[in-house]
Amino acid sequence: MIYVWGQMFLSWVYTPLTPDLSLKRCHTLALMLLGIHEKLCTFVYNQYACMEAYTKPPLTYAQQIDLLRSRGLIIPDESRTERHLSNIGYYRLSAYMHPYKQVKGGIIQDNFIPDTTWDMVYDLYVFDRKLRLLVFDAIERLEVAIRTQIIYQLSHKYGSHWHDDCRIFKPIKKTYFDRRTGQKKEKEIDVYKDIQDHIQIQLHSNKAEVFIRHYRSKYNSPENPPSWMSVEVMYFNHLSLICEALKKRSDRKEIADYFSLPPEIFLSWLHTINYVRNVCAHHARLWNRGLNITPEVLKFSKKNVWISNPDTVMRSKLYYFLCMLNYLLQTVNPTSTFKKRLKALLDEYHEVVSLDAMGFPKEWASERLWEV
């Protein structure tokens, strides 16, 4: 099929589009485009050759229960299970069934491990929900502190409207995956323009915050509110981009110093925090999730307590992120009960939670970082 398309494409290119286009130039152009065409077709073939049309029909709650039972799941209370399915949904809960599925040849099967009960699946879901709330609470405290430090440090250096000064910013480049070509690509982001556009939207919104409406009704210059108002209506992603786009390393360093981190690691951690924040905000599975944005490793800290041997910890797993939160909370909220509540949560659900799946090392509880 790939080569049939290629030959059709070649025939089309050989048809001169203008009278002065020579046969030789046509041939060269055809070969170049055919090479690109073959690579694209190969990518498409690899992606879709083994795929099939989705034909599964929607199931009633009773049918969902019958399906789970046919796969070996023990369901002692149908009405309770149906209530969970109607309030949470089969598909969302299916993510918590995977740890209890049989595995053959490295492939997860439909059938459950013998003696698996509905309560085991549901308890794992409840654990993940409580974990998200705990993590989100910590992130909320960090977000407020990060926002405050950005405003404070830059305002005292550049004045109240530093966000309106394009000279302190630089464009940044981001790598992304192009699904059409299957390749990684790079795009440039004008952070200054992005935050200006966002402020303008907030400034003229009918649902603007009270302090924005107050500024708009009382002051005619500058057009944008001062940073302590403007940054308050920015998203967490904007905070991350602002720090990355600051032209001077010294500006980033002054913000990062407050959190006892080198600037480069601070930026990396911001991106990961933003990623996990979005996971929590969308109520997605967190407990055994691999972190798509892997944070940079902090080797040691002279100020705060940190992991004794960070190079041995998997930074793509949740445990390292929990260590990050614990480390940052030492500055933001020294009396935080985060680690105490985390330990209590893990103890409560120890029968259904795999610490290994979360990246916890065996001796994690003996780390000074987790001493209560």
Strands 172-178, 183-189: pairing is antiparallel
Averaged pLDDT of the chain: 90
> Would you state the pLDDT for residue 368?
96
CA–CA distance, 15 with 35 (Å, rounded to integer): 18
CA–CA distance, 210 with 198 (Å, rounded to integer): 17
Give 234's Cβ-side CA count (13 Å radius): 29
> Which tens digit of pLDDT belongs to each residue from 311-361?
999 999 999 999 999 999 999 999 999 999 999 999 999 999 999 999 999
Least Cα distance to 98 among 339, 288, 325 occurs for: 288
Number of Cβ atoms within 10 Å of the Cβ of 234: 20
Residue 30 binned pLDDT confidence (cut-offs 50, 70, 90): very low
Collapsing DSSP states into helix, strand and coil, what is residue 169?
strand
pLDDT at 142 over 80: yes
Residue 9 binned pLDDT confidence (cut-offs 50, 70, 90): very low
Distances (CA, A) of 75 to 67, 69, 97, 110: 11, 7, 13, 16
- Greater confidence (306 vs 27) lies with 306
Ranges 41-50, 158-167, 319-328: which has the least confidence: 41-50
Residue 42 binned pLDDT confidence (cut-offs 50, 70, 90): low
> Would you state the pLDDT for residue 186?
87
H or E element that contains 183: strand 183-189
Per-residue pLDDT, averaged over 59-86, amounts to: 98
331 touches 258 (CB < 8 A):
yes
Residue 115: both structure tokens together = 């003696």
Place of tokens 């059938």: 111
CA–CA distance, 210 with 318 (Å, rounded to integer): 38
CA–CA distance, 255 with 257 (Å, rounded to integer): 6
Per-residue pLDDT, averaged over 175-185, amounts to: 81
> Would you state the pLDDT for residue 45?
52
> Which tens digit of pLDDT belongs to each residue from 267-310?
999 999 999 999 999 999 999 999 999 999 999 999 999 999 99
> Would you state the pLDDT for residue 183?
83
Collapsing DSSP states into helix, strand and coil, what is residue 319?
helix
pLDDT at 221 over 80: yes
List residues bridging with 357 in a β-sheet.
none
Per-residue pLDDT, averaged over 205-217, amounts to: 92
Domain ranges of the chain: 2-48, 63-116, 127-370
Ranges 5-14, 117-126, 170-179, 214-223: which has the least confidence: 5-14
Kindly report the pTM of this predicted structure.
Answer: 0.84
> Would you state the pLDDT for residue 180?
82
Per-residue pLDDT, averaged over 66-90, amounts to: 98
Residue 39 binned pLDDT confidence (cut-offs 50, 70, 90): low
H or E element that contains 131: helix 118-158
Distances (CA, A) of 127 to 8, 33, 133, 244, 250: 57, 54, 10, 35, 42
**Range 275-284 contact pairs with CB under 8 angstroms and sequence separation of 24 or more:** 276/135, 276/139, 276/321, 277/136, 277/139, 277/143, 277/236, 279/132, 280/132, 280/133, 280/135, 280/136, 280/139, 281/136, 283/129, 283/132
> Per residue in 103-126, is it b (16+ CB within 10 Å) or e — as a string?
eeeeeeeeebeeebebbbbbbbbe
List residues bridging with 174 in a β-sheet.
187
pLDDT at 20 over 90: no
> Would you state the pLDDT for residue 181?
82
> Would you state the pLDDT for residue 334?
96
pLDDT at 4 over 50: no
Collapsing DSSP states into helix, strand and coil, what is residue 124?
helix
63 touches 27 (CB < 8 A):
no
> Would you state the pLDDT for residue 46?
57
pLDDT at 8 over 90: no
| Cβ neighbours for 231, distance < 8 A, ≥ 6 positions apart | 147, 150, 151, 163, 238, 239
Of all residues in the chain, what percent carry a pLDDT higher than 90? 81
> Would you state the pLDDT for residue 13?
42
Per-residue pLDDT, averaged over 40-58, amounts to: 70
> Would you state the pLDDT for residue 176?
78
pLDDT at 238 over 70: yes
Using alpha carbons only, what angle is made at residue 277 by residues 313 and 93, rounded to the nearest 5 degrees? 85
pLDDT at 40 over 60: no
